[in-house]
Amino acid sequence: MRILSGIQPSGSLHLGNFFGMMKKMIEYQEQEELFCFIANYHAMTSLSDGKVLAKGTLEAAANFLALGLDPEKSIFWVQSDVPEVQELAWILSNFTPMGLLERCHSYKDKVAQGIKPNHGLFAYPVLMAADILLYQSDKVPVGKDQKQHLEVARDIAIKYNNEYGDVFTLPEPDIDDDLATIPGLDGRKMSKSYGNTIELFLEEKALRKQVMRIVTDPTPVEEPKNPETCNIFQIYRLFLDENGVAELRRRYETPGLRYGDVKQELFETIRDFFAPYAEKRKELLDNPDEIRKILAAGADKARYVALKTLRKARKKGGLIY
């Protein structure tokens, strides 16, 4: 089974990215054929500073590698290092009804936020479809927010295949209900755009400050508390096994629990959990040429697969004459 997903190199990594997508991707490399890339073309829809994008790309690569992505066991590359994806995006554009894109929530949300819509933002899901279809992906692990984009990719593939026969594998979304939406400090989806994130690689003081900002209800200390509606619990449970969750739940239900104490524990847990990865990440970032080498080798492998699909699509469309 071929698993593919991408992550944009914009902004720093948070727990939502890690638990919603990266952790699962890294686990897949053990049993499945894993394709993982850094979606730098997509990041251009929200980022125009080239220096920031270039730096973010190296950092995103270092993040994945530090967290355990193994370039020997997977194909790991930067989207723009296989620019053929743009050609497929153009081909697919001709199978993409306007209405399909006009209905996309993420586009509508961005416009509602006051972002001036341009063609890049509008066509974003077509490029994402090209990412997925170019590599004949079976399964695409993403957070719930990307579900509609996957439906668009499938719709485009179906339309194309109806015209030309089975050129593209129809991708399935891989969304873990339990992890579909990791809540942020305020209980809304953890997201850079809400400013409610807990970041993975922060200095101790800054991390503690973020954890202490988790919003809690005003239940007095001497009363039992409801873990299900508590933002601290919902984040803490990500780090615990079944017994750990049961034990924490029991503490919530017993009078006397102080939210401040649980926050302190959670801060220490996050700090200790990511400390070894942070060290590895620093080592990698101190040697950017090493990262570039790994990415270049990954792009070669990815391109080999991409060209096979693209050749078919060029032929079907009459681009080979």
Handedness of CA 64, 68, 70, 74 (dihedral sign): negative
Considering only residues 138 to 157 of the shown chain, the ones binding ligand TRP according to CB under 6 A are: 140, 142, 146, 149
Q: Name the binder of 193 from ligand ADP, ligand TRP, none, CB < 5-8 A by kind.
A: ligand ADP
189 lies in the site for ligand ADP, by CB under 6 A:
yes
Annotated catalytic, 189? yes
Instruction: Clarify whether 263 is annotated catalytic.
Output: no
Query: What separation in angstroms does the CA of 112 have from each of 98, 150, 286?
Result: 19, 22, 40
How big is the site for ligand ADP, counted in residues (CB under 6 A)? 17
CB 144 within 8 A of CB 6: no
Q: Which of 3, 5, 238, 310 binds ligand TRP (CB under 6 A)?
A: 5
For residues 46 and 199, what is the distance between their CA atoms, to the nearest angstrom?
20
Are the C-beta atoms of residues 281 and 66 closer than 8 Å to each other? yes
C-beta of 6 vs 184, nearer to ligand TRP: 6
Is there binding between residue 110 and ligand TRP (CB under 6 A)?
Answer: no
- Measured over the CA atoms of residue 45, residue 49, residue 55 and residue 58, the dihedral's sign is positive
Q: What backbone phi and psi angles, to 5 degrees, belong to 49?
A: -80, 110
Is 55 annotated as catalytic?
no
Contact 208, 267 (CB under 8 A): yes
Q: Check residue 125 for interaction with ligand ADP (CB under 6 A).
A: no
Determine the interface stretch with ligand ADP among 66-74, 97-105, 191-199, 265-273 (rule: CB under 6 A).
191-199
Between the two ends of the chain, the Cα-to-Cα distance in Å is 34
Name the residues that contact ligand ADP, by CB under 6 A: 7-8, 16-17, 20-21, 142-143, 145-146, 181-182, 189-193
Catalytic annotation, residues: 110, 189, 192
Name the residues that contact ligand TRP, by CB under 6 A: 4-8, 39, 42, 128, 131-132, 140, 142, 146, 149
